[in-house]
Chains A and B, each alone.
Chain A
Amino acid sequence: MLENFSFRTIVEYLPLFGQGFAATLWLSIVSFAGALAVGIILCAMNLQRSRLLQLPAKIYIDAIRATPLLAQLYFLYFGLPRLGLVLPELVVGILALALNSGAYIAEIIRAGILSISRGQVEAGIASGMTYAQRMRLVILPQAIRVTIPPLLGQAIVLVKDSALLSLISVAELTRAGQLLASDRFMPAEGFITTAACYLVLYYGLKSLAAFSARWLGVRPIGSRT
């Protein structure tokens, strides 16, 4: 079986995979930064008492979570131009990933904040802290610690979801695999290489999370390192 497997072709296509890898990496970073911003805003709206702010956030989050990313991507790519808004593929792709992941991140952050006990909030109130001070000094430092692992999970999902951008001809990793597959009729070589690249990204993210955890001084609360 392996006599048909051409390592030479893979080596020949490595520059293309290098470009794809770089593209997937940076568009994932930009999308994730956007998703964090979207998530923080949505979560802030969702935690307000005012229905006027809460309701749009809830509807948005539900709408995103209830529909496939591919449908959202196609809406932005094929639908928006029909409505008069033409954007480059790459912008559409990043926008789709950021808007999609943002909804999930909003829920992750909200769960982190709500996991902090009412007693912590009351201790802050009783010592005369304002809402902003309580958030900054008491709630968020504790919430970040519980939020990092699920945020990492979401980042990994985002990197894998970015494969869908190959369908709107963004030149990223999966697209590189498709090109090799269709140029040389070698889907095995093409997609195994693509998969290997994603694996590298996955381990990169994992070690980044471990590093940031140490950098933020994250430890099981109260235990000393």
Chain B
Amino acid sequence: MIEFRGVNKWFGALHVLKDITLSVEPREVVVVCGPSGSGKSTLIRCINGLETIKDGDLVVDGQRLGDRATNMTELRTEIGFVFQAFNLYPHKTALENVTLAPIHVRKIPRGEAEASGREMLAKVGLGDKFNAYPSELSGGQQQRVAIARCLCMRPKIMLFDEPTSALDPEMISEVLDVMVGVAEEGMTMMVVTHEMGFARKVAQRVVFMDAGAVVETGTPDEFFSDPKTDRSRAFLSKILRH
């Protein structure tokens, strides 16, 4: 579904992705973790073209990024992206947020889009917030609207960029619960997160990145209980200390 082959990327002189080779199978859930600045966000932002790669191959849903034949705008409709800062449209209600792209990009009739929008908001536990503006919602609620906004496009792939890092602790689990639900329905997911509980529960694989390179991959159990490299051990000891 997603395949990186020898992908490199630079920000100016900074080598942010170093020879990444990695693939994600359909219905697989992969958690990406690593210290800040290790390139994990950049990695998943490349998949929907929010960042471009310098060399190597990146094939998403059978289409090679950067090819003339690949229509990025079209490909992006198949890829949901959940941001750390939610990025809901502040001038739109929750329901308008989740129906905007289905109506204008997918060209779904308004009535139909609104019906499935209501259904999706109810599914993420916001059945009573259709007409609320983002500023009237808590962080956790906003992030759940953002997830519903992606799901309404019926994507094949969902990418999450630190979806719970901007949340107050008591709101993290409500968002993770929704993500677990999405994973259990068989969505192909790549999730940048340090939430080990989530990784253990639904991830088939954990990818550990440091300084722009993939240092270690393994099942959540292998990785969290028996990390293979010094760098992953050092990282885990920091996030597990408290």
Residues of A within 8 A of B (CB): 117, 119-120, 122-123, 125-130, 133, 137-138, 141-142, 145, 221-224
Q: Within the assembled complex, what's the spacing in Å between the Cα atoms of A217 and B138?
A: 24
Q: Do B153 and A119 touch across chains, with their CB atoms under 8 A apart?
A: no
Supply 9 further A-B pairs (C-beta < 8 A) apart from A125-B49, A127-B153.
A119-B87, A127-B149, A127-B150, A128-B76, A128-B77, A128-B101, A133-B104, A222-B133, A222-B134
Any A CB within 8 A of the CB of B135? yes
Using CB atoms, name the residue of chain A closest to B131.
Answer: A224
Contacts of B153 in A (CB 8 A): 127-128
Check A129 against B101 for contact (C-beta < 8 Å): yes
Q: Which residues of B contact A128 (CB under 8 A)?
A: 73-74, 76-77, 101, 105, 153
Selected contact of A138 from candidates B77, B89, B136, CB within 8 Å: B89
C-alpha spacing A146/B12, complex, angstroms: 34
Q: Which of A119, A141, A224 contacts B83 (CB 8 A)?
A: A119
Contact indicator A223/B73 (Cβ below 8 Å): no
With A137-B100, A223-B133, A224-B136 as contacts: A126 and B91 at CB distance below 8 Å: no
Tell me the complex Cα distance, A222–B88, Å: 11
* Contact, CB under 8 Å: A126 / B81: yes
Q: Main SS of the interface on chain A? A: helix
Contacts A127-B153, A129-B104, A222-B90 known; A122 to B76 CB distance under 8 Å? no
A–B pairs, 22, beta carbons within 8 Å: A117-B87, A119-B83, A120-B87, A120-B89, A122-B50, A125-B48, A125-B49, A126-B76, A127-B77, A128-B101, A128-B153, A129-B104, A133-B105, A137-B100, A141-B91, A142-B90, A145-B91, A221-B133, A222-B134, A222-B135, A224-B133, A224-B136
A33 to chain B, nearest CB (A): 26
Shortest B126–chain A CB gap in Å is 16
B83 / chain A contacts, CB cutoff of 8 Å: 119, 122-123, 126
A222 touches B100 (CB 8 A): no
Q: For the side of the interface on B, what is the size category?
A: 20 to 34
Which B residues fall within an 8 A CB radius of A? Answer: 48-50, 73-74, 76-77, 79-81, 83, 85, 87-91, 100-101, 104-105, 133-136, 149-150, 153
Which partner residue on chain A sits nearest B89 by CB separation? A138
Taking CB atoms, residues of chain B closer than 8 Å to A133 are: 104-105
Cα-based distance from A165 to B77 in the complex (angstroms): 55
Chain B residues contacting A221 (CB-CB under 8 Å) are 90-91, 133, 135
For residue B81, which residues in chain A have a CB less than 8 angstroms away from its CB?
Answer: 122, 126-127
* Distance between Cα atoms of A221 and B48 in the complex (Å): 29
Known: A224-B133, A224-B136. A127 touches B89 (CB 8 A): no
On whether the beta carbons of B79 and A130 are closer than 8 Å, the reply is: no
Closest to A217 in B: B91
- The answer to whether A127 and B76 have CB atoms under 8 Å apart is yes
Cβ of A123 and Cβ of B135 under 8 Å apart? no
CB-based nearest A residue for B106: A128
- B50, A126: Cβ atoms closer than 8 Å: yes
Closest residue of chain A to B81 (Cβ to Cβ) is A126
In the assembled complex, which residues on chain B have CB atoms less than 8 Å from the CB atom of A223? 133, 135
